[in-house]
Amino acid sequence: MTTYKGINGFAVQSVASDPSPLDEGQVWYNNATYAFKLASVTTAGTWASGGNMNTAKNETAGSGTQTAALSFSGFSPGNTGATELYNGTSWTSNPTNMNTARREAAGSGTQTSTLAYGGYDSNSTAASESFNGSTWTNTPSMNTARHGLAGCGASNTSALGFGGIATTSLTGATESYNGSSWTSSPNSLNTTRSSFAGAGTQTAALAFGGQTPTLTAATESWNGSTWTSVNSLNTARKALAGAGIQTTALAFGGFASGSPSRTSATELWNGTSWTTNPNGLGTARYGLAGAGTQAAGLGFGGYSGVFSTATEEFTGPGSPVTKTITTS
């Protein structure tokens, strides 16, 4: 009789818990649940609930990855500097908050190397702060005070801030941070806007959505010196969240036209165009934050009719997921 070992040269591994990370086609026996399992590739991205935040807040910011994320700033109600760390399962409140409580700020970097900048305290602010995994330290301010801006970057010494509202006027101003100072670019966004999202790095970024003051789906690509208009989102919206890099980005949530205005819509960017994912957020909301990648994204906080603590984890299409093998 033909056996699995005879075909593959090895027997099915018996383990007490499902392996991680997964490889497509991997088969194993979970001896704790008494089930054969298979790593199968998803055909559409899916959202799943994660651990709730400790502080419910809207107009918040974030950074990091799906399993090591950082949440900071927001409106709770009232401006807050509350900071929380996510380990892939639960959030832990940091003992110390930001130096400047604010909302509608931007952030970039990792959980242990984040830069927060801009936002609204009692007015548009240029304040910039660096987080090292435990404490916030004031750093040189941006050249243009603003709120409702977007940002991206690899660490607290390599960040890009762009767009927003400078006091009362929309701006497309773009600035880069090198760890010691902010430098204004001579080239601004083509579509001046606020309350939008960004993804990528200091030299390869993507800007999408927002308010101009009407809702926009406009998307722009940054090459380190200039912005280029590219294909728009399928759903025009503001106060959305983003994750990923310039060539594989994720857009989700936000405030769109229609009723209810809160949207769960999720879109994937392939470097050329946006595709609507058939599965949206479990909790439609706006003013949320994003972290991670297109394949492994994270959305948290926002306004869903109430200030939200909800956290959701995204598994992108083409990612291996665990399926139980049955005889049916």
CATH of the domain at 149: 2.120.10.80
Residue at 326 is within a domain: no
- Cα distances from 161 to residues 69, 110, 147, 168, 171, in angstroms, run 20, 16, 11, 18, 11
Residues 23 and 69 in one domain: no
> How far apart, in whole angstroms, are the C-alpha atoms of residue 3 and residue 199?
48
Residues 88 and 18 in one domain: no
Q: Give me the residue label for tokens 């435990």.
A: 134
Residues 123 and 225 in one domain: yes
Residues 17 and 122 in one domain: no
> How far apart, in whole angstroms, are the C-alpha atoms of residue 84 and residue 326?
41
Q: Which of 43, 44, 8 is nearest to 26 (CA)?
A: 8
Residues 117 and 158 in one domain: yes
Written as tens digits, the pLDDT of the chain (328 aa) is 554 445 444 478 899 988 887 777 789 899 989 888 888 777 799 999 999 999 999 999 999 999 999 999 999 999 999 999 999 999 999 999 999 999 999 999 999 999 999 999 999 999 999 999 999 999 999 999 999 999 999 999 999 999 999 989 999 999 999 999 999 999 999 999 999 999 999 999 999 999 999 999 999 999 999 999 999 999 999 999 999 999 999 999 999 998 789 999 999 999 999 999 999 999 999 999 999 999 999 999 999 999 999 999 999 998 777 778 876 5
Is the preceding omega at residue 260 within 30 degrees of 0, hence cis?
A: yes
Q: Which of 283, 279, 282 is nearest to 305 (CA)?
A: 283
Residue at 320 is within a domain: no
27-30/13-15 β-pairing: parallel
Residue at 247 is within a domain: yes
> How far apart, in whole angstroms, are the C-alpha atoms of residue 244 and residue 274?
13
Residues 143 and 215 in one domain: yes
pLDDT for position 7 = 45
Residue at 68 is within a domain: yes
Residues 56 and 194 in one domain: yes
Domain that includes residue 13, residue range: 4-41
Q: Which of 176, 163, 246 is nearest to 204 (CA)?
A: 246
- Number of Cβ within 10 Å of residue 136's Cβ equals 20
Residues 247 and 282 in one domain: yes
Residue at 85 is within a domain: yes
Residue at 125 is within a domain: yes
Q: Which of 295, 293, 299 is nearest to 317 (CA)?
A: 295
Residue at 52 is within a domain: yes
Residues 131 and 34 in one domain: no
Residues 106 and 222 in one domain: yes
Residues 35 and 50 in one domain: no
Residue at 20 is within a domain: yes
Residues 119 and 31 in one domain: no
DSSP assignment string, 212-233? SSSB---EEEE-SS-EEEEPPP
DSSP assignment string, 137-204? EEEPPPSS-BBS-EEEEEETTEEEEE--EETTEE---EEEE-SS-EEE-S---SS--BS-EEEE-SSS
Number of domains in the chain: 2
